[in-house]
Amino acid sequence: MKSYKGSQELIDKLFAFEKSKGLNGSLILIHPGVSDKRTDKLYNRLDEIIKRLKRLGYTFEKL
């Protein structure tokens, strides 16, 4: 798991990108296919990410 990035690092990068370029029209892929050895699973923080994006004015659409 040499290239593993923890959930907080991924969230920080997402919101740094949002701040500099915005996320309008973006698709954010979060999948459950991670090693059982990783206890810090990003999908467990999806609710937090969605709430934060909504506070910034983003909306979500079905594909």
State the DSSP code for 44: G
Give residue for tokens 């954010």: 28
Q: What residue type is 12 in one-letter code?
A: D
- Contact between residue 23 and residue 54 where contact means Cβ atoms under 8 Å apart: no
Q: Is the dihedral of CA 27, 28, 29, 32 positive or negative?
A: negative
Q: Which two tokens stand for residue 7?
A: 């959930």
pLDDT 10s digits, 1-48: 677 788 999 999 999 999 999 999 999 888 777 777 778 889 999 999
The residue extents of the domains of the chain are: 26-63
Look at residue 23 in the predicted model and tell me its pLDDT.
Answer: 95
| pLDDT grade for 54, boundaries at 50, 70 and 90 | very high
Look at residue 30 in the predicted model and tell me its pLDDT.
Answer: 84
Q: Which two tokens stand for residue 15?
A: 């919101």
Look at residue 21 in the predicted model and tell me its pLDDT.
Answer: 96
* Nearest to 14, CA basis, from 41, 50, 39: 50
